[in-house]
Structure 1
Amino acid sequence: MAEFTTEQIRNLAVLGHTGAGKSTLLEALLFQGEAIAQKGRVDKGTNHADFTAQEKDHRHSLEPSFLNLDFDNHHINFIDTPGLPDFFGRALLPLSGVESVLLVINAATGIETITQRAFEAARAQGKVVLIAINHIDGNGANLAGLLDEIQTKFGHRCLPVNLPNAALDDVIDCYLHPQPELQGEALFHDVASARDELVDTVLEEDDELMALYLEQGENLTPEQLHAPLETALRMGHLVPVCFTSAEQQVGIGALLELIIKLSPNPLEANPPQFIKGQGESALPVDVTQSSEDHALAYVFRVAIDPFFGRMGVFRVYQGTISLGMKLFIGDGRKPIKVGNLFKLQGDKQVSVTSAVPGDICAISKVDELTVGAVLHDSHDEDEFHLPELVLPQPIFGLAVSAKRRGDEQKIAEVLNKLVVEDPSLHIAKNEAEGQTILQGQGDLHLQIALEKAHDLFNVDMETDVPAVAYRETITRSATARYRHKKQSGGAGQFGEVELTVEPLPRGAGFEFVSKVVGGSVPSQYIPAVEKGVKEAMNGGAVAGFPMQDVRVSLLDGKHHSVDSKEIAFVMAGKKAFLDAVQEANPVILEPIVEMQVQVAQEHVGDITGDISANRGIICGTQAQGNGKVEVEVEAPLATVDDYSTRLKSLTGGDGQFAMTFSRYDVVPDHVQKALVSAAKAH
């Protein structure tokens, strides 16, 4: 492969709702850049981004995939991402490795659930956003109306950098190469006005250039505007909007030029904030992005193959990573050797000898690689890390168990591999029911994980609907004292504690504070009291569900010079805590989810009626402009954990929904009584 400098590299994650045409758009870009001789098709399973057997079977992108092309003396790395709501967590992983997001919107269906969430996530991480309105020749497309909708939802700084012509077979440049002679050929809007809006927005970032423009009325070139343009993009003060038809190759050359000339190179973008250390001692550190400094790279994608081992895709942030060099992983003391170094082009591995700052490459056969790992060649970068990526909370769960006797250990290993590949999957234990729970974003998310366990790792699992992840907490403060005393002829046990329990804000977790003075509870036994409290919290005090959002303050106690030992204070802490909780009005909490349900207008009444009948709340409705209506809902997870099946029944399969965790809330009295009765019967 040709060698490129950091300034010549562009990195973009391609995000958008399913059906927007992300993979098809990438085929068109690869074809335009002569990286492929013929475009593949998603419906035929021949496109380069969706190459796994699962993706070919399901006709959807299910994993991040990597493509690149060289064009006009630049190297562009693209990361295709899933657009299905169940896989939004996977779609977020590449954001740690790019400067820019190409947000693709279907011209006919407009802004959808993942469109909104992707835009918000990209801006929250300081990424430059470029919007591509695709399928401009699709039935029902209202391009002027969609641009208005984008500006309403994402801000008035979403400005067109080109416009479709009336025939929808070309686009007219409004910024890089203004074409005043084509002024009247745009399908809508005004080319000159569009350019003026862009220039005015960019000039707001540079007072001197603004003054020159106002005083002399100079016709500023894109080169003069480049520096303030990059500032506007970084700050989110400008979001360029362009128009494409990937199927017909319309606007693709213009998009490729926009990527090179508008999207920032790694030196121009918002730099990531690396951190050294943990907790209160953690300090921010800056990276130089110089190819001559110590090597520093961040792993944001891991894939595990039963034959080829573990592969990690990383972004180089500093220094140069070369074939044969030794690297440390995180705080590990034993280095690994870079035995192979390559770039991914769909399912192909293209060997390279080195990777400079800004580039995205991969290594394989390294079992220690995980998402979030930092690779470095010097112990000066020990304890370096990026802030943890916030992924969507798991919503759905399946209890999984071995289908074949003796496979229990194998299942545990495979589940761990699935989570290493996809951190938006979680494994939880329901101790009360003795269940292992695989948790994810929805039915399809879990189905795909189980398919992968079978197809790649030859493991079959029995599945069952798990218990809802209820929690317990308290609603007022209370104090209790308990003495644990045991004498059986030999050495005895003695420990006495007094403690107070207080409710914490929802989501605060657990706090343990020692207020003991005078040594009434010796310092070596205070951790034992906390251990006893935690054991009691895990087992619950009402119906056996784990407790949360509680502060426990150890106030006082007694000890015995001979009989006091750790187990005595563990038991005393546990019993005192349970006694205090009973006086603190304990309640059961249930997970509440937010849902966006998209259905045809004629089904709205059925949807709202069903939600209301199942303790849900209708928060609002919004017309989507495509004959669909989005119903915004809050509901207890316990009443919608089978919603995929219900929605199909209510709409005849013509509906979709996205669900995200919102919070824990107190269950109604009748629900608490039923849960307590069930726990006692069990």
Structure 2
Amino acid sequence: MSYNTENIRNIALTGHAGAGKTSLFEALLHAGGVIQAQGSVEKGTTQSDTDSQEKARGHSIDSAIASVPYGGSHINLIDTAGYTDFRGPTLSSFAAAETIAVVVNAINGIEYGTRRMLERAAQRRLARVIVVNKIDFEGAKLGALVDALREEFGTQCLPVNLPCLGGKHVLDCFFHDKGTTDFSSLAEAHQRILDQVVEINEAVMGHYLDSGEGDLSPQELHDAFEQCLREGHLIPICFISARTGAGVKEFLELAERLLPNPAEGNPPPFVNGEGERITVNADPAQHVIADVFKIVNDPFVGKLGVFRVWQGTIRRDTQLYIDDNKKPFKVGHLFRLRGKTHEEIERAIPGDIAAIAKVEEIHFDAVLHDSHDEDSIRLSPMQFPQPMFGLALEPKHKGQEQKLSQALARLSEEDPCFRMEHHKELNETVVRGLSDLHLKVMLERMKERYGVEVTTHPPRIAYRETIAGHAEGHHRHKKQTGGAGQFGEVFLRVEPLDRGAGFEFVDAVKGGVIPGQFLPAIEKGVRQALETGAVAGFPIQDLRVTVYDGKYHPVDSKEVAFVSAGKKAFLDAVGKARPIVLEPIVDVEVAIPEASVGDVTGGLAGKRARILGTDSLRGGELVIKAQAPLAELTDYPTELKAMTGGRGRYSLDLSHYEPVPPPVQKQLTEAWKPHVEDD
């Protein structure tokens, strides 16, 4: 290994689908001498899109990692999916990078994914770079695009290079190349970015004003530039053509000379067991701290945990712990990734991205460490969108139930937005994802990898129950069957809590009328009822239960008696407390052609949706923002496709829960009655 932490750059390529991230990934690997020729997305020969689903669909589904040696730097690149359907692996990669490069299609301009990724990077306090790709394509209006970027995202968006010769070449305007550009003045662009950079640091500003820019050292410029990126005071705009290579080496030079290394980026959001922020140093001599941001179940090497080292040095044969697990594991093999290729390495230093294989206990977001002093350390979790689309499924062939469960568990490990649930009361397995396409791809992947085929049908919507009033409940459980009997009596009250508050259990028993050892049994009975529901068979939330009185028998009272008494007293109280059914309300964003706006807004209004507003996109598109009940959107993918001629795109994120209309509650309650009667 011929580099240290100061030489490392970690960059995630993100942006809207079709911006050319994978082609840029190939161009950067080629420019760095990692590959002899650029692969093609159309031909399925790229380093990153190696999955059969990616090749068949012509776009990324998962993230891919490769490193590029350039000059004196070791640049780790992460190629991510652009489609919102596959945001899980994309957002996971943010935990490993200092810089997010948002790739923009020069023809289409600012798109939905452009906004989303820049917002997410800002929330994570990561350095941001806008990469305008396809600058040599006919119809690219680059000057207008720069104006649009500055208007949309702020005047801190400034070009650091400019295209010339019709996008066939670029000229650096930070280090002041000479020449004529396709638009703007190189000297003016240079002055604008220099003024932006020096104003962040008073010492550099003073030196600049006193002596002029010619006296600013490269180190002063680097430090001020890096501070601008760290504080969001500058978002560089880079012009590139992945097709011709124009601007590709210039981007690598920018990464080497000016982008933050792992010691310069904003401190990672690590917290201890009490939720307090703690400092992690990019020091190779300290205890090891690494975060697992990606899991791959590789058919050849087994389970692969991909991690970013934040502190310390991991070597082969190192003994590491996972989270607070007291049992260590030995690092038998340590890998560097290049797409599907694994290169064995001797050690990984702070800032490195590496992988270990065949450690079954490893999981997404695990913290690896070599000292129990780090047991409680966690990286603040990324806020992932809630998977709201569901499919109930069962194996197509009998006897594959166990195989199905194992396959779904493997897929869930790889994508934090793909989840599996098993509903005991209906004996129903449900998978949830971000869209119908997301679920379709995952089930096709399961068939290819694990040989499991399934039949599917719509699942029940994830309704919830709660109460709107206060009430008291009581139940006496008494059972005598010869010999010792069962006895337990419980009085309790219920009261509503704020939406999202969850559940509270309060012990207000006085005088020992119920011995303390039976309180956990009462809570267990209450929690059983919380899971199965009281009026429509859905989990109950957002209420407080207070046990205040009861009776016991010194001989006949047993745990099982108080479990039953607690459950039935709770159901008695909920039935009197104006129970209500809550439905999930989702934030809907729909990107459509302007010509379809009437049909789409009318369609949403017919689904009890509230239209919140619209945003205009370049190229005659609109984004409609709304909130709607999830239950109304079951067939929305098909409807949107019909209304927009296949040009509409949408995303859903869980917003909140609110009461269903009375007719819907009545319908749900009536549907649940047969289950109650069968109990």
Q: Which TM-score band (shorter chain)?
A: over 0.9
Partner of 2:9: 10
2 CA distance for matches of 1:537 and 1:502? 14
Of 355, 364, 369 in structure 2, the residue corresponding to residue 371 of structure 1 is: 364
2:494–2:546 Cα contact (<8 Å) kept: yes
Cα distance between partner residues in 2 of 1:195 and 1:531:
68
2:375 equivalent to 1:382: yes
* C-alpha distance in 1 between matches for 2:661 and 2:146: 45
Q: Which amino acid aligns with 1:353?
A: E
How many Å apart are 1:282 and its aligned residue? 5.1
Deviation sequence 1:242-299 (CA, Å, 0-9, x none): 111211212112111111122101111112233343xxx4554322322122222221
Q: How does 1:410-425 map to 2 (within 5 A)?
A: 410-425=403-418
Q: What is the Cα deviation at residue 401 of structure 1?
A: 1.0
**Post-superposition shift, 1:335?**
2.6
Match of 1:552 in 2: 545
Which of 580-589 and 510-519 deviates more? 510-519
Cα 1:153–1:664 change in 2 (3 A) is farther
Quick one: which of 460, 463, 488 aligns to 1:467?
A: 460
Look up the equivalent residue of 2:254 and give its one-letter code.
L
SS in 2 for 1:623: strand
Separation in structure 1 between the aligned mates of residue 81 and residue 616 of structure 2, nearest angstrom: 25
- Gap change, CA 1:49 and 1:489, over 3 Å in 2: same
- Worse-superposed segment, 346-355 or 477-486: 477-486
Alpha-carbon shift at residue 136 of structure 1 (Å): 2.2
Moved more, 213-222 or 361-370: 213-222
Could you tell me which residue of structure 2 aligns to residue 115 of structure 1? 114
Matching of residues 433-448 of structure 1 within 5 Å: 433-448=426-441
Letter in 2 for 1:514: D
> How far, CA to CA, are the matches of 1:296 and 1:587 in structure 2?
47
Shift of 1:46: 1.2
Q: Does 1:80 align with 2:105?
A: no
In the other structure, the counterpart of 2:443 is 450
SS of 1:156's partner is coil
Q: Which amino acid aligns with 1:25?
A: L
* SS at 1:677 equivalent: helix
Q: Which moved more, 1:354-363 or 1:500-509?
A: 500-509
Q: Specify which of 250, 263, 267 is matched with residue 267 of structure 1.
A: 263
Q: What secondary structure is seen at the aligned counterpart in 1 of 2:260?
A: coil
Structure 2, unpaired ranges of 5+ = none
Q: Distance in 2 between matches of 1:421 and 1:501?
A: 41
Q: Which amino acid aligns with 2:624?
A: V
**Deviation of 1:567 (Å):** 1.9
Q: Cα distance, 1:311 vs. partner?
A: 0.8
Cα 1:581/1:189, change in 2 over 3 Å: farther
The answer for the alignment partner of 1:246 in structure 2 is: 242
Change over 3 Å in CA distance of 1:403–1:446 after alignment to 2: same
RMSD (Å), alpha carbons: 1.9
Secondary structure of the residue aligned to 2:30 is: helix
Q: Structure 2 vs 1, CA of residues 12 and 582 (structure 1 numbering), >3 Å: closer, same or farther?
A: same
Deviation digits for residues 177-213 of structure 1 (CA, Å, limit 9, x no counterpart): 213x53xx33334433433332333233321222232
**Partner SS state of residue 613, structure 2:** strand
2: CA distance, partners of 1:72 / 1:166: 27
1:60 and 2:59 equivalent?
Answer: yes
Match of 1:187 among 176, 182, 196: 182
Give the alignment partner of residue 195 of structure 2, picking from 194, 200, 225. Answer: 200
Hey, what does 1:231 align to over in structure 2? 227
User: Is the Cα contact below 8 Å between 1:306 and 1:457 reproduced in 2?
Assistant: no
Q: Distance in 1 between matches of 2:33 and 2:361?
A: 37
2:110, 2:618 within 8 Å by CA — same for their partners in 1? no
CA offset digits 1:576-608 (Å, max 9, x no partner): 211221222111111111222122222111111
Give 1:475-554 correspondences, 5 Å limit.
Answer: 475-554=468-547
Of 629, 640, 648, 1:647 maps to 640
- Relative to 1, partners in 2 of residues 1:92 and 1:486: Cα closer, same or farther, differing over 3 Å? same
1:215-230 to structure 2, matched below 5 A, reads 215-219=210-214, 220-230=216-226
Per the TM alignment, residue 154 of structure 1 is displaced from its structure 2 partner at its CA by 2.6
SS for the counterpart of 1:285 is coil
The answer to whether the 8 A contact 2:89-2:294 is kept is no
Q: Which residue of 1 aligns with 2:254?
A: 258
Q: Does 1:159 align with 2:155?
A: no
Displacement, 1:429? Answer: 2.3
Find runs of 4+ consecutive structure 1 residues off by over 6 angstroms.
none
Task: Tell me: CA distance 1:497–1:152, structure 2 relative to 1, closer, same or farther (3 Å).
Answer: farther
Q: Does 1:350 align with 2:350?
A: no
Q: 1:302 to 1:631 in 2, by over 3 A?
A: same
Return the alpha-carbon distance in structure 2 between the equivalents of residues 681 and 529 of structure 1.
27
Which secondary structure does the structure 2 equivalent of 1:596 belong to?
strand
Match of 1:308 in 2: 301
1:428-487 CA-partner distances (Å, limit 9, x unpaired): 123343211011111121112111211111111221111111111112222233333333
Aligned counterparts of 2:470 and 2:186: Cα–Cα separation in 1:
66
Q: Report if the CA contact (8 A) 2:320-2:370 is conserved.
A: yes
1:46 maps onto 2:45 in alignment: yes
Partner of 1:330: 323
Per the TM alignment, residue 237 of structure 1 is displaced from its structure 2 partner at its CA by: 1.9
Q: Helix, strand or coil: the match of 2:455? A: strand
- Contact 1:14–1:79 (CA<8 Å) still a contact in 2? yes
1:21 Cα shift?
Answer: 0.6
2:106 touches 2:135 (CA, 8 Å); kept in 1? Answer: yes
2:130/2:238 contact within 8 Å kept: yes
Change (3 A) 1:521 1:143: farther
Contact residue 111 and residue 618 of structure 2 kept, 8 A = no
Q: What is the alpha-carbon distance in structure 1 between the residues aligned to residue 185 and residue 328 of structure 2?
A: 59
Whole-angstrom distance in 2 between the partners of 1:251 and 1:338: 40
Distance 1:626 1:141 in 2: 12
Corresponding position of 1:178: 176
- For residues 149 and 655 of structure 2, what CA distance do their matches in structure 1 show? 25
Q: Which moved more, 1:61-70 or 1:113-122?
A: 113-122
Do 1:102 and 1:129's aligned partners in 2 also have CA atoms closer than 8 Å? yes
* CA displacement, residues 370-415 of structure 1 (integer Å, 9 cap, x when unaligned): 1112222333333332223321101111111121111111111111
Q: Are the counterparts in 2 of residues 113 and 596 from structure 1 also a CA contact under 8 Å?
A: no
One-letter amino acid of the structure 2 residue matched with residue 76 of structure 1: I
Q: TM-score, normalised by structure 1?
A: 0.95
Say whether the 8 Å CA contact 1:140–1:626 is kept in structure 2.
no
Q: Residues 526 and 160 (structure 1 numbering): CA distance in 2 closer, same or farther, change over 3 Å? A: same
Q: What is the DSSP-based 3-state SS (H/G/I as helix, E as strand, rest coil) of the residue aligned with 1:268?
A: coil
1:344: Cα distance to partner?
0.9
Deviates more, 1:203-212 or 1:258-267: 203-212
Pairing 1:291–2:289 present: no
Q: Which deviates the most, 345-354 or 208-217?
A: 208-217
Aligned-pair CA distance for 1:222: 4.1
Equivalent residues of 2:291, 2:366 under 8 A apart: yes
* Counterpart contact for 2:65–2:338, Cα < 8 Å: yes
Matched to 1:106, the amino acid is N
1:221 CA displacement:
4.4
SS in 1 for 2:81: coil
Report the Cα distance in structure 2 between the residues aligned to 1:513 and 1:192, rounded to whole angstroms. 70
Which amino acid letter does the alignment assign opposite residue 394 of structure 2? S
AA at the equivalent of 2:420: I
Alpha-carbon distance in structure 2 between the residues aligned to 1:70 and 1:666: 57
Residue 605 of structure 1: aligned partner: 598
